Amino acid sequence: MSGITLWKPEPDVLIHQALGKACEEATELAGILARCLIQGLDQSEPVTGKPNRQALFEEIADLDAAVQWLRELVNDEYDGDRADRKLNGFRRWQRMLEEDMQEAAE
């Protein structure tokens, strides 16, 4: 038996489009995140002169809106406890990095 099965597009047009928009906006956010990494958060796009920081927060807002729309359409199952655990983990990691940098400077 092969692992190939019949996949078909999401049949609900609204959910289909909201999934697509969330994917598109997530990709746009990934693009500006990469630019900030390789060029610097406080630098600007060379041709347009648009600040990277401004572009980053525009794409964060776009993705936030797209995710909110998707959540409304699919009957929100947002896991706030999971998000809190994730954020706490990031903050623990931040403290570890700060301690490591402090030790390296000594």
In the three-class reduction of DSSP (H, G, I as helix; E, B as strand; rest coil), residue 44 is classed as strand
Instruction: Work out how close the CB of 28 gets to Mg ion at its nearest, in angstroms, rounded to a whole number.
Output: 4
| Dist CA 69 CA 62 (whole Å) | 11
Instruction: Work out how close the CB of 38 gets to Mg ion at its nearest, in angstroms, rounded to a whole number.
Output: 19
Binding to Mg ion by residue 45, rule CB under 5 A? Answer: no
Torsion angle defined by CA atoms of residues 32, 33, 35 and 38, in that order, rounded to the nearest 10 degrees: 180
Contact 33, 56 (CB under 8 A): yes
> CB-wise, 22 or 25, nearer to Mg ion?
25
Residue nearest to Mg ion as judged by C-beta position: 62
The β-bridge partners of 51 are: 44
Binding to Mg ion by residue 62, rule CB under 5 A? Answer: yes
> CB-wise, 41 or 101, nearer to Mg ion?
41
Of 19, 26, 28, 71, the one binding Mg ion by CB under 5 A? 28
Question: Which segment (31-39, 41-49, 61-69, 90-98) binds Mg ion by CB under 5 A?
Answer: 61-69
| Dist CA 76 CA 104 (whole Å) | 45
Residues near Mg ion (CB under 5 A): 25, 28, 62
